[in-house]
Structure 1
């Protein structure tokens, strides 16, 4: 449950800028024309991409139960203070800091989960983690529809989206310090016998390799070279790169897409919830059945095809109901493929440091797609 909530707050805090735009952020900051808003979206991904591999390597040295909650609390504070922004330059600084602190979360949680779950169990857990992406879109839209009308303390509308959502993340981050164990061997909620059983089952999953004991594994540059020579890492990174172009553009601009159909800001925020909930349900179901059937590639291929059909509906139709139906197909298609790919990578890279480097590189390469995805929808095309 902690990993689901962590990802939920992560996605809400990075994508709420799209909701804030509908609530007046762009006009208040003077970025309602040109590509300034797209630039503010883009700068988030620069530190996000750069910090992933070093953050994954740092995870074990600092202790996961301290490092991950520290990142959560830090980005929650950044999100909160974004509400005080008065200029485009201030918004850019906030987005850079948000990307810096969120950059270590995705790879860190995947590696963290791999300490507790065996390979055939990982996809469903990754699915629970990733289903927070569409869930955040649903909750974010509902929250923004209410917070965007708040006027108090000299602030009206969009600042309250950042104030409230950031503050909730800070509280969650502080709680994680008390409930997130570093490794199975240090989990206070397990008995000594349960800890021993947890280590044995992970050793069995790694064909008896003692390196599964992440408390004793030592860093060696040979692990880095092993990760760099893994062809499956580059294949998954390439597939995920193209998939994330559609996922990021959809997540960030869905409120604007629906608003462009003629709905008011508040109604458009509310209408983002149904397609995102459809994506949420699909992620859960496909992750479950993928683990049961031990099949990843088939689900990825079907999801991509469904997403393409949704984009075709948005592109060629001039009927708003058809366009809105297309957003459901996009959500159903693109959201479920990401956990499949991430689970695939995590399943096929071991031991700990090989997985840390490989997962970090895949995330870094794939997230370069943000340089395209954040400029898919421009203000002049609205």
Structure 2
């Protein structure tokens, strides 16, 4: 294993070109067996780890493009899909959850179909679907929480104005199948790359009608919750459980659903759940996040099988790297999670691709991931596209129209 800070990787055998070796990450190792690549063998057939995605959307008025509390109406229209379409934290939001997928192609098809169905239901009620992490402009009037909700009333009572940040939308990626012990061990190895995933997905520069100066203001606003941010490095599953109980006992979380870490073993499914990325309109960017997440888990499983030590990542460096990723996005700079050195965010993104290239190739995802990342680096992140649109006339409604158009491109 090449020590962090001294890695040099080659892309000659992966079919893409990148800025190899500029981030201090362990280099990929050539392996030969399916188990080494984090693949599962069942009945003699080798299959990749599974992936599933939850996406949260805002509902906006067709004419004004301001958020409207129409979720109950829209959800009633798609009541035939109870397993795939859900309420979210407020009545301005709806959520889709894909079925479990073995391939990125299947995942993409499911996302497109669910988005199309939900967008059609929204139009029936004078709304449009908005794949945006924030409302862009201020939410009018008092916050409309979902109805079921003694729990949410208690949340509002205890956390006050923090509940205003519930009107935000993320993308949650589930990688499975993993038992809790394995998910905890894998979390330690995936967490260094959470800031890079945030930079890749950065799509919320505008909040309350103005540019926040951050590419992912959602990541910054959400980090105000005491149970949010990077997960700890866990020494064991018992340590993980104690950390959750500490959140509950301190009053920082009402229940386990409020464990808002950027990465966590799921409380409902046998998966590791990546919660860091912003919601974005582009489906291929969503699939890229899932591909990279699955490949990171596969890389971690291989390293665990090889009994490699956990990577030395200091909590204070990871917190700063998270902030820098949310601030600069993909177009600026980030911090090497292993050394703390400042590097172009694009280099960190390509270093991540280099690291997991063997696992991407094994799952058949490398070509799509390299092409999609190349497009982001060439054309700009969601945050960059929003800012470019705003710069034309200085009208925030132009940003909203762009987001609606991109959301309805399947």
Higher strand share: 2
Higher helix share: 1
Q: Which has the higher contact order (CA 8 A, sep 6+)?
A: 1
Q: TM-score, normalised by structure 2?
A: 0.32
